Structures are given as C-alpha cells and as structure tokens.
A and B are shown apart, each in its own frame.
Chain A
Amino acid sequence: MAVVVPTTGPAPAPSPSRALRLRTVPGRIRAGAGVAILAVGLLSALMGVALAHAGDGLQAIGHTAGPQVVATADLYFALSDMDAQVATVLLAGEEGRPGRQAALNRYDQRRAQADSAVLQAADLARGDPTGQMTVRAVLDGLGRYERLASRALLLDEQAPHAAGPPSQPALEVYRQATDLMRLDLLPKAYNLTLDSGTVVRHAYAAESSAVLAGRFWVALGGALVLAVLVALQVFLTRRFRRAINPALLAATVVVGVLTVAGILVLQRASDELRTAKEDGFDSVLVLSRARAIGNSLHGDESRYLLDPQRADTYEQVYLDKSQSVLYVPGGNLDKYYAAVDQSVAAFPGKADFLGFYGSEADRVTLPGQREALAKVLTRYQQFQRDDRQMRQFATTGKNGDAVRQAMGTSFGAYDAALVELTAQRRQAFDAAVAAGDRALDGWNLLLPGAALAAALLILVGVRPRLAEYR
C-alpha cells in the first residue's frame, strides 16, 4: 500500500469517518479501487491533453497556417511577375505584338492570384495589428501600381518602337510603377511571408514541445496506474489467499497497452509533425522564396534592357538577387558566372554554395531530391549563361538580339525544374501531415473507451471481494 498512500492524499481527507473506514478491510478495498480509478482518470486526462496538442500542431501546420503561409509566398511571386510582364510588353515593341496579348493575359492571371494571396495574408494577420496594417498598405499600393502600369502601357501603344527601350514618357511612368513595386510592395509582401512563417514556427515549437512533454507525463501516469493496480492485486491475493484476480489483471493489461500505445502514437505524431515542418514546410517556404526572387531576377533582365540609364543599378540588383538564390563569391557578374559554373559542376559531389539552394542542399532528405536539385542547378546555370550572352549583345549594341535572348526559354525551363522540386517537397509535407492525422485517428473514441473499460474491470474485480463482507 506504500505506493497508494501518497496519491490518496486528496481522497482520504483527515475526516474522522474516512479514517475509520480505512481501518476495515472493505474500506481499504474501496479506497484502493477508488484510487485506481482516479489514477486511470488521471492517465486518460494526461493522454487526452497530449493528443490534443498533437492534433492542434498538425492542424496548424498541415491544414491552416502552414498552407496559408505558402499562399502568401505566392503573393510575392504574383506581384513580381505582374511587373515583369509589364516590362516584357514595353520591351517587346512592334515585333513583339503577338506576344503582347499573352503577356497581358498573364498579368491579369497574376493579379487574380495576388488578390487571393492578399486575402490569405489578411486572414493570417488576424490578431496582429502590425501585420494587418501591412496587408492594407499592400492593397493600397497594388491599386496605385495598376494605375501606373496601365498608363505606361497606354503611352507605349501611342509611340510604336522597335524591340528595346520604349518612348521616354512611357519609360518615366514605368519607372514610377516599378519603383513602387520593387521598393514598396515587394518588400512588404516578402515580410508578410516571413511574419506568417513566424506564426507557424511558434505553433510548431509550442505544440511539439507540449507533445514531447505529454509523452513523458503519459509514461509517468501509466506507471502510476500500473503500480496502484499491482498493489491492489497483491493486497487482494494476500488478504483473501486467492489466486490472481482476473478482472484486475485484465484492467492492468488494458492500462499497460493503453500507455504503451499512447506513448507510441505521441512519438509518431511528433515525428510526423517534425517531418512536415522540417522536410516539408521549411523547404517549401525556402523554395517559394527562391522562385519569387528568381522571377524578379528575370524581370531585372528586362528592366536592364528597358532603361539604359538605370542599367547599372538593375545589373547590380540582378547580381545581388542571384547571390541570394545561389551564393558563390564573386564581386561582379563575370566572376559570378564563372563561380556558378564551377559550383554547379561540382554538385552533387560537393555543395560549396550558400543562399536558398545552399540551405536546400544542406537538407537532402527525400529519395530523388538530390537529382531534382541537381536539375534545378543545371538549368539555373544555363539561365545565367544566357544572361551573360544577353548582356554581351546589349553592350555591343545588338539590342534586338539581346531582347530575343532575354525572352528565350532558359528561364522557363529553370522555373519548371524548380516547380518540380517544390512539388516533391510539398508531397513529403502532405504525406507527413496525412500520416500524422491517421495516427491520431480514432483516439477520440479509443481513449475514453479504454479508460472506461479499465475502470469497469477494476469495479468488477473488487465487487466479489466486497460481497464477502455483506
């Protein structure tokens, strides 16, 4: 009974009648059974809380905040592609007429995408006044951007030109538009994604540590119930000189199985939560950022050709962004191209680069992922080679060639490979979330059912012994 005494603390309060009851054998049996049932209740409460945390974590990362964050990452992409399409139309000139409508259609499509992403961002920013103000500022800015962009396009239509820079008035309005986009809207959109990533990180950290702590408490609670049941069993066997009490034994088995299964399911849920977060979500977010930045990289090529006066700035911005996507040392573009060639050739044997792809190369966890990443890198290298060619055309006065080169297929090919790699990660994410959900499935019935069964078995076990005293 030594084990039982401390836990009976709250039950047998120092009321004289209870103390009296404990002195008689049936009183002790009743107290023992009561303590055992209370302990079962405690265990099921502990397990219920831990399972609820696991469920909340999976819900946040897998079904609500997680996918919303990925959607806000698309906001940046949609916005930067809107600006890139405007640049494409302005740059294409007369000979680019056929492509004009396609670019305008794509612009509208991105606009719709941006709208729905803003809605997601607004939803995520509930309860965060700073985030809400940022969302509102993005909406306002988007309206202004659209007005400027359509004016630039209108002015461009009024002054037909060959492939290359548009008329001065069109260019001046476009400058205002692109400055608004690049210096005001895109940073805000990017920061929103980072902010909402924070929401997910906090949810993950809180829930996963709660699940792990819960696992510990469940183990402790299970051990406690088992100890109580064994003590009760021993007491009954000795006192009544009987063989093992089968109902109590069954209750012990039920509790033991429940505890072990609970620990295992919590472990499983926490593993899947971690997989979903680290192998899925984090990577998807990094790759979405890489895609968004990569897209504005392509826009910077058009802008470089579009606005010769600002060509130096756009070239520098292009280099800076390239380095955030795939960083290799190189103070200027020529050195960067060479370093990219070297590093990509060395991959996958060696990953001596940083940036978004550096962090992706650091956590190769899925089958086929290294190959998919290698493909992205090769296509990125090709895109950079074409960029070099484009700049050579531009600096030697071959404007038409430069424009055709900038509108070539290498960017599309690179982007497609990146989308493929992201889809792989996305699949891992979805699979982990589904596995976690499956692991938790049914526990809302199983747990109370098992606890109730154990309690009933305890009652059934002690009932005949109590009957002997009637």
Chain B
Amino acid sequence: MVALTGRGRSRRVTALALLGAVALLSTACGVGSSVLDRDLLVIGVKPDQPGLGMKQAEGEFAGFDVDVATYIAGKLGKNARFVATPSSEREKVLMDGSVDLVVATYSITPERKTKVAFGGPYYVAHQDTLVRASESAVAGVRDLKGRKLCQVTGSNSWRRVKEERKIAVELVQAASYSECLADLKAGKVDAVSTDDLILAGFATADLKIVNAPFTDERYGVGIQAGDLDGCEAVNKAITEMYLDGTAKKLLQKWFGKSGLALTFTVPQFEGCG
C-alpha cells in the first residue's frame, strides 16, 4: 500500500511537471512565425487612394483601410505602424517579412493565394460606374455602349467593360483616376468604371455612382503564407468589427456621403488553411 500511495502522489507531481514541459515544448516548436508573436505590427496601406488609404501632409495615413487595420491591430492587442505599399510590391513585402499585414484594396485572387495568405475579406467591393450627376441615361454598365470611358494606364477595370462584357465603349486614356475625375467633370469622358469604394472616395456633389455593381472584388488582409494563427485571429477581429457595429460606422464615415449602396454584413471569408 505504501508503494501505491507513493505512486499516486508521484503521478500527480510528474503529471504537472510533464504538462509544463509539454507546454514549453509545444510553444517552442509548434509556432513558426506569426504576427501574433510581434508587439508592433507593420501594416502596408495605400498612400494615394482617397477614402481608403491616403498619406496626409503630416505623414499620417487616413482612410477606411487604415481604420480597419487599426481596429484589427487593436483586437490583436498590438500597436500598428503604417507604411506606404505600392500595389506591385504587396506580395514581395509580405513574403520577405518587411510588412506584417497588407490592408490596401488588396483583392483576393487564386494567383496571389499561391504566394501569400488572406484574412477576410473585410469588404466586398464591386465594380461600378461613376457619371456626372446630370446624367440620366446610364442605369447600368450596358448603357455605356457608344460612350467615352476613362482608361487608366495599368488598371484592368476597363477590360471588364470592353473585353469581358464586350460593350462597345470608346476608351479615353488617362494617367490616374484623379485625372479621370477631372476629365469626367470637364466632359472629356462620360464615365469612370472601377471599384465602388474607390469611386466613392472620389465622389463629389456633381458626380453620382450608378449603383449597378457587376463584379465582386474581395478586399483581403494580406498576411504571410502559413501564418494560420495570425490569419484566424484577423478573421475573428473582422467578424467582431461587423458584430459590434464598427464596420457600419466606418463605412458610413468614409463612403456614406457618396450615395453608394453599402453592405453592412460580414463578408464570406476566404479561409486560412
């Protein structure tokens, strides 16, 4: 009997010791590198997209993407530092680890998913059409037939109209969407077609969004491939952002005045694994 009680006690003690050892072991080799291990998150945003990510004169960034990223970092219990990330470098900076998260109108696509992972989408934008407020004959993308559409160098949005939908538009070149807007107001083009959130960022009283969406652009939170824990934490944060009403507040704050039909319910996530 002596042996038995001794064994019982030693079992408890060793079980405790073992649990400690196992916990140490699993934290040591279980997690590779996750954004959850960092104290400060470096977050890539756009520097030149009004309403989404815009660098201010004081060097701060402001916009919907920036607010979403701040919220996510807060939910993860981290501080955030924002850096301007050009579209062409989004995969590169995530893969080399110089940026932890990218929240920069970053559409989730299968090709990109071969290189990086995506939390979210935090919003599903749609390609839509912006016209002058006085325009009454354009109710949808098909009504652009025979009209002048702004074509921004390097952007694919015009292809969705002219090539994918085979609508006979007349393309007018411009260097940027800001230039398109000026052309639209000046009457040099009849319509600008791209993601509705981008259009909403530009919208002013003399312009209107047609509200006839014809694509889904799923804006995701780019994260290093393989960081499942980080990606799942981001998804949880986005779910909470919609549940606690922050998403609605932020969408209205940045795009409410544009007259755009906004969606206030959580988007369908891409999945981390």
Once A49-B18, A134-B243 are accepted as A-B contacts, the answer to whether A188 and B265 lie under 8 Å apart by CB is yes
Could you list 9 further interchain pairs (A-B, Cβ under 8 angstroms) beyond the known A38-B10, A45-B18, A331-B160? Answer: A37-B7, A42-B10, A45-B11, A191-B269, A195-B235, A316-B215, A320-B215, A320-B216, A332-B164
- Inter-subunit contact B265/A213 (CB<8 Å): no
- Inter-subunit contact A213/B11 (CB<8 Å): no
Jot down 12 A-B pairs with beta carbons below 8 A, ordered by A: A34-B6, A38-B7, A40-B7, A41-B11, A191-B235, A201-B273, A205-B30, A210-B22, A210-B26, A316-B214, A323-B110, A327-B110
- A189-204 CB mask vs B (1 if < 8 Å, else 0) is 0110011011001000
- Inter-subunit contact B228/A190 (CB<8 Å): no
Q: What is the CA–CA distance of A40 and B14 in the complex, to the nearest angstrom? A: 12
Once A188-B266, A194-B272, A327-B110 are accepted as A-B contacts, the answer to whether A213 and B3 lie under 8 Å apart by CB is no
Interface residues of A in 337-356 (CB under 8 A from B): 354-355
Q: A198: which of B10, B164, B232 is its contact (CB, 8 Å)? A: B232
- Inter-subunit contact A45/B110 (CB<8 Å): no
Q: What is the CA–CA distance of A197 and B273 in the complex, to the nearest angstrom? A: 9
- A266-283 CB mask vs B (1 if < 8 Å, else 0) is 000000000000000010
Interface residues of A in 42-61 (CB under 8 A from B): 42, 44-46, 48-49
Interface residues of B in 1-52 (CB under 8 A from A): 3, 6-7, 10-11, 14-15, 18-19, 21-22, 25-26, 29-30
Q: Closest residue of chain A to B232, judged by CB?
A: A198
Q: What is the CA–CA distance of A190 and B214 in the complex, to the nearest angstrom? A: 23
- Residues in B neighbouring A34, C-beta threshold 8 A: 3, 6
Q: B22: which of A214, A282, A323 is its contact (CB, 8 Å)? A: A214
- Residues in B neighbouring A42, C-beta threshold 8 A: 10-11, 14
Q: Does B86 contact A (CB under 8 A)?
A: no
Q: Does A183 contact B (CB under 8 A)?
A: yes
- Residues in B neighbouring A124, C-beta threshold 8 A: none
Q: Does A443 contact B (CB under 8 A)?
A: no
Q: What is the CA–CA distance of A214 and B7 in the complex, to the nearest angstrom? A: 19
Q: Does B187 contact A (CB under 8 A)?
A: no
Q: Does B141 contact A (CB under 8 A)?
A: yes
- Residues in B neighbouring A209, C-beta threshold 8 A: 22, 25-26, 29-30
Q: Does B146 contact A (CB under 8 A)?
A: no
Q: Does B268 contact A (CB under 8 A)?
A: yes
Q: What is the CA–CA distance of A316 and B268 in the complex, to the nearest angstrom? A: 16
Q: Does B136 contact A (CB under 8 A)?
A: no
Q: What is the CA–CA distance of A450 and B110 in the complex, to the nearest angstrom? A: 55
Q: Closest residue of chain A to B30, judged by CB?
A: A209
- Residues in A neighbouring B10, C-beta threshold 8 A: 38, 41-42, 45
Q: Does A393 contact B (CB under 8 A)?
A: no
Q: What 4 A-B pairs come out closest when comparing CB atoms?
A: A41-B7, A187-B268, A45-B11, A332-B164
- Inter-subunit contact A194/B235 (CB<8 Å): yes
Most interface-central of A44, A201, A312 (chain B CB within 10 A): A312
- Residues in B neighbouring A40, C-beta threshold 8 A: 7
Q: A130: which of B26, B163, B236 is its contact (CB, 8 Å)? A: B236
Q: Does B271 contact A (CB under 8 A)?
A: yes
Q: What is the CA–CA distance of A194 and B238 in the complex, to the nearest angstrom? A: 13
Q: How far is the CB of A468 from chain B (nearest CB, A)?
A: 22
Total interface residues in chain A, CB < 8 Å: 53
Q: What is the CA–CA distance of A455 and B15 in the complex, to the nearest angstrom? A: 19
Main secondary structure of the interface of B (DSSP, over half): helix
- Residues in B neighbouring A214, C-beta threshold 8 A: 18, 22
Q: Does B88 contact A (CB under 8 A)?
A: no
Q: Closest residue of chain B to A321, judged by CB?
A: B216
Chain B interface residues toward A at CB < 8 A: 3, 6-7, 10-11, 14-15, 18-19, 21-22, 25-26, 29-30, 110-111, 113-114, 140-142, 159-160, 163-165, 213-216, 228, 232, 235-236, 239-240, 243, 263, 265-269, 271-273
Q: What is the CA–CA distance of A455 and B1 in the complex, to the nearest angstrom? A: 11
- Inter-subunit contact A187/B273 (CB<8 Å): no
- A217-260 CB mask vs B (1 if < 8 Å, else 0) is 10000000000000000000000000000000000000000000
Q: Does A433 contact B (CB under 8 A)?
A: no
Q: How far is the CB of A321 from chain B (nearest CB, A)?
A: 9
Q: What is the CA–CA distance of A37 and B3 in the complex, to the nearest angstrom? A: 7
- Residues in B neighbouring A186, C-beta threshold 8 A: 268
- Inter-subunit contact B3/A46 (CB<8 Å): no
- Residues in B neighbouring A282, C-beta threshold 8 A: 273
Q: What is the CA–CA distance of A133 and B124 in the complex, to the nearest angstrom? A: 22
Q: How far is the CB of A205 from chain B (nearest CB, A)?
A: 6
Q: Does A441 contact B (CB under 8 A)?
A: no
- Inter-subunit contact A354/B26 (CB<8 Å): no
- Inter-subunit contact A213/B22 (CB<8 Å): yes
- Residues in A neighbouring B240, C-beta threshold 8 A: 130
Q: Does A123 contact B (CB under 8 A)?
A: no
Q: How far is the CB of B60 from chain A (nearest CB, A)?
A: 31
Q: Closest residue of chain B to A189, judged by CB?
A: B268
- Residues in A neighbouring B21, C-beta threshold 8 A: 213, 217
Once A191-B235, A205-B30 are accepted as A-B contacts, the answer to whether A46 and B215 lie under 8 Å apart by CB is no
- Inter-subunit contact B15/A41 (CB<8 Å): no
- A134-158 CB mask vs B (1 if < 8 Å, else 0) is 1001000000000000000000000
- Inter-subunit contact A194/B269 (CB<8 Å): yes
- Inter-subunit contact A130/B243 (CB<8 Å): yes
Q: What is the CA–CA distance of A355 and B3 in the complex, to the nearest angstrom? A: 60
- Inter-subunit contact A312/B214 (CB<8 Å): yes
- Residues in A neighbouring B6, C-beta threshold 8 A: 34, 37-38, 41
- Residues in B neighbouring A183, C-beta threshold 8 A: 263, 265
- Inter-subunit contact B216/A187 (CB<8 Å): no
- Inter-subunit contact A46/B265 (CB<8 Å): no
- Inter-subunit contact A331/B7 (CB<8 Å): no
- A302-344 CB mask vs B (1 if < 8 Å, else 0) is 0000000100110011001001100101011000000000000
